[in-house]
Amino acid sequence: MKTGSLRARVIITTLALLAIVLAGVVTAVTLAYRAKLDGDLHSRLTTAGAAVERAGSAGQAKRLLPGLALEGIAIRIKPPVGAQAPAAPATTGSTIRARGSLLILDEILPDSTKVSFSASRASIDHAVTNLLLVELLVAAAALVLAALLVLQGTRTALRPLSAVIETATRIAHGDSKLRLNPSRVDTELGSLAQAFDQMVDALETAVEEARASEAATRRFLADASHELRTPIAALQASVETLLREQPERPERDRLEAAVARDSDRLGRLVDDLLGLARLEAHPTRTRVDLATVARPLVEDARTRSPRAEISLSVDADATVRGDTDALERVLRNLIDNALAAIEPTGRVDVHLRRLNGYVQVCVADDGPGVPEDQRQRIFERFVRLDPGKPGHGLGLAIAHRIAHQHDGDLTCDPTPNGASFTLRIPAEL
């Protein structure tokens, strides 16, 4: 963008417009004044011609000389030459002709005497020149005065911009809480100040989110390193024992089973870590029927826990807009957690309903439940309420993040028995 001086632009533009207006006024006044003087001179010549016509003879015309001279009109009388011409009426209203700076009017009297009237326009030129000089001096003085007034006015008008510059400078030097707080937002400067405050608020929020993200990333890397270290160390120890000692069965079978178990645990942990990293990308959203997603998951759970009572109920249309794979992962995690919490003959209820513009999926079980003080903490990464059970504390963290990515939420609800988790996703209209 162009960054020339705004004050200079305002002053130059204002003075240029004023100069154009003054030039137009000076031109119009000067032309009108000249036209008025020319009209007066023409009128005096015409009046003089009429007076001579009324006199009727050269003798009578000579008596008018002093008065006409006072009006700046000269008379030249030319008597007839040779024989007298027949009498003719005087000709009046003749065209006034110009010769140089003179205006001339000729009259023929009844006795054939020619009377010529002349008046100089030099006085008109002199008067117009004087008027023009006065106008130019007045216009110059007006421009100078206007320049001073505009300079002072722009300094006052642009004072809020100086406040914006000062505030921005102080914010850049660390005073991030400083704001303009405009008294009015329905003006140009008020809108600018409001937009500036909103921009600074957004930047401050972005900085805080970046710092929080950086801290979370560091914590995540530290936790991930700790979680990976345990299965890797166990896997390495088992493999080294197998290679070094070549034990006989059944010790060899036990070590091979430990290698398989640790490899599986490590694979699931890496898969969850990759899934958590993929959540930073925006999911592809399509129409998803959560009831269609939940049914095969419930059937699979019934196959894996044939003695448990697992129910699925759908009260209304459960169509949402989201990523099918991500939402399936959330439901699978909730059902798997419920199966892990209950006894072999326990109960799991999966209930889908539509409420207040959201599709709600409630997964409840009759297991030991979640302590009240842990209902928020269980959604943090690598948090496990029972370290003795399989898992590494990433499932619910991933599910919680997926819910928020879909403009929804995942909560652990209070219940007198067991645990109850509710996934809320905005319903597709």
Q: What is the pLDDT of residue 137?
A: 93
Q: What is the pLDDT of residue 44?
A: 79
73's tokens: 């009109």
Asked if 48 contacts 64 with a C-beta cutoff of 8 angstroms, the reply is yes
pLDDT in tens for each of the 429 residues of the chain? 566 677 788 888 888 999 999 999 999 999 999 899 888 888 877 877 777 777 666 666 666 667 777 677 777 777 766 544 444 444 444 577 777 778 888 777 776 777 777 888 888 888 899 999 999 999 999 999 988 998 888 888 777 777 788 888 888 887 878 888 888 878 877 888 888 888 888 888 888 878 876 776 676 666 666 667 767 777 888 888 888 888 888 888 888 888 887 787 777 777 766 665 665 555 578 899 999 999 999 999 999 999 999 999 999 899 999 988 889 989 998 998 899 889 999 999 999 999 999 999 999 999 888 888 777 778 876 665 555 555 556 778 888 888 988 889 999 998 888 899 999 999 987
The alpha carbons of the chain give a radius of gyration, in whole angstroms, of 52
Torsion sign, CA atoms 191, 196, 201, 207: positive
Task: Write the secondary structure of the chain as one string of H (helix), E (strand) and C (coil).
Answer: CCCCCHHHHHHHHHHHHHHHHHHHHHHHHHHHHHHHHHHHHHHHHHHHHHHHHHHCCHHHHHCCHHHHHHCCEEEEEECCCCCCCCCCCCECCCCCEEECCEEEEEEECCCCCEEEEEEECHHHHHHHHHHHHHHHHHHHHHHHHHHHHHHHHHHHHCHHHHHHHHHHHHHHCCCCCCCCCCCCCCCHHHHHHHHHHHHHHHHHHHHHHHHHHHHHHHHHHHHHHHHHHHHHHHHHHHHHHHHHHCCCCCHHHHHHHHHHHHHHHHHHHHHHHHHHHHCCCCCCCEEEEHHHHHHHHHHHHHHHCCCCEEEEEECCCCEEEECHHHHHHHHHHHHHHHHHHCCCCCEEEEEEEEECCEEEEEEEECCCCCCHHHCCHHHCCCCCCCCCCCCCCCHHHHHHHHHHHCCCEEEEECCCCCEEEEEEEEECC
Q: What is the pLDDT of residue 257?
A: 83
How far apart, in Å, are the Cα atoms of 185 and each of 42, 192, 197?
64, 8, 12
Q: What is the pLDDT of residue 85?
A: 46
241's tokens: 């024992």
| Torsion (CA) 280, 284, 290, 292 in degrees, nearest 10 | -130
Domains of the chain: 6-155 (no CATH), 172-278 (1.10.287.130), 283-426 (3.30.565.10)
How far apart, in Å, are the Cα atoms of 151 and each of 57, 179, 310?
71, 28, 82
Asked if 275 contacts 329 with a C-beta cutoff of 8 angstroms, the reply is yes
Task: Estimate to the nearest angstrom the gap between the alpha carbon of 104 and the chain centroid.
Answer: 73
Strand-pair category, 286-289 with 319-322 = antiparallel
Q: What is the pLDDT of residue 209?
A: 78
Q: What is the pLDDT of residue 283?
A: 59
Q: What order do you get walking across the sheet with 409-413 strand by strand? A: 309-314, 347-355, 358-365, 419-426, 409-413
Q: What is the pLDDT of residue 87?
A: 47
Distance CA 354, CA 423 (A): 11
